[in-house]
Structure 1
């Protein structure tokens, strides 16, 4: 049974989410503040975290950053804040999705399902056995001396240093490194990290690319690896 952690200080809203998601077959726990949320995260090891931005003890964005430092668990922000700037800020903080209140419970379930499906698909994508996964990882690593992916541990290694990534950033890098030179449109990247039943915008993809360039490029303003193809999208250049 997949586990969901709801970090929401509104007891009524939290109870509604827990009740609905439980009826959908999930094991759901709620924390009323950020401190309890971090403790429950360590105990529960959730498959998805639903995070409200307005908490009594800590700013939700700060908590999102803290969670991302500890885990690559998919994070969905659930908030009353509807400004585009808030969504962009959330993506930069490490969130994987953003849902504005009020929302359809059906849409919430679809997005939760999409996040879990993508995470599980990523975990299984190595193939039928450890040997295949090892070969795949070695193949990816060999394509660039400076940038490597450790598929087993979901780590990005840049010039010998482990670099933290969000779930979506890792999936984009996996796609790039698997297909060096191929041009991906923003729609291609959206479909790769979300699936067709979860919401993400072209702007969100651009934010992920900016964040990845900061992590892999020596000079993000003059990228060597992640190139913009004007009017189309992006490509990964293997040197």
Structure 2
């Protein structure tokens, strides 16, 4: 059975979510604080997280980044905030989807299944353990001194690890594996979240801008990630 971690401090909404998901054959653990949620990732080992952005001990979209920094478990934000900017910021920080309160329980279930389906279709990497005394990162092919550490899911630039969000890493993985290929924004959207999730062209542009800040010596005159006007982006060979 699928294990769902519900991080929601509102007793009415939390109980409603728990009862509905249990009826839908989920194993549910509900907590009320960010600290309890972070602990439950290890103790409960959920398959998916439902995260409220207004908790007693933390609030805001930085919560998404905090959770994404410790896990790549699928994560859906549930929030009273309905502004497009809030949605984009949450997804840019690591959320897989965003659902505004009040919402339909049937819609929640469909979105949860969609996110879980996308994750189940992602290829699983296997690694050969290096000797304990000389543990080495498992990296992809290198372009311009840039590669990816598959185990830590970080970008490596000239041997230095650079942290990235889930979306930034997925976009960079496409670029490094297919240097010179032009990717449309639609292709990048589908690769990052899947066609039925909330993300748009503007969010992709934000991710690319953030990647340029991390990779380029002069982000305003990028040498690696080039804009192909009217189409999308490509990573130079």
Q: Same fold (TM over 0.5)?
A: yes
The equivalent residue for 2:198 is 199
More helix by share: 1
Counterpart of 2:69 in 1: which secondary structure? helix
State how far apart, in whole Å, the 2-side matches of 1:166 and 1:2 are.
25
State how far apart, in whole Å, the 1-side matches of 2:62 and 2:110 are.
26
> Is residue 58 of structure 2 the alignment partner of residue 97 of structure 1?
no
Q: CA deviation at 1:80?
A: 0.9
Q: CA deviation at 1:92?
A: 4.0
> Is residue 206 of structure 2 the alignment partner of residue 216 of structure 1?
no
Q: CA deviation at 1:119?
A: 2.7
Q: CA deviation at 1:115?
A: 2.4
> Is residue 180 of structure 2 the alignment partner of residue 185 of structure 1?
no
Matches within 5 A, 1:100-139: 100-124=100-124, 126=125
Aligned residue pairs total 228
The equivalent residue for 2:227 is 228
Counterpart of 1:192 in 2: which secondary structure? helix
The equivalent residue for 2:87 is 87
Q: CA deviation at 1:40?
A: 1.4
The answer as to whether partners of 2:92 and 2:165 remain within 8 angstroms in 1 is no
State how far apart, in whole Å, the 1-side matches of 2:165 and 2:116 are.
14
The answer as to whether partners of 1:88 and 1:207 remain within 8 angstroms in 2 is no
The equivalent residue for 1:77 is 77
State how far apart, in whole Å, the 1-side matches of 2:186 and 2:40 are.
36
Structure 2: unaligned runs, 5 residues or longer = 129-137
What is the TM-score normalised by the length of structure 2? 0.83
Question: Over the residues paired in the alignment, what is the CA RMSD in angstroms?
Answer: 2.4
State how far apart, in whole Å, the 1-side matches of 2:198 and 2:93 are.
18
Q: CA deviation at 1:20?
A: 2.5
Q: CA deviation at 1:81?
A: 0.5
CA-to-aligned-CA distance 1:196-227 (integer Å, 9 cap, x gap)? 33232222222222222223223322222221
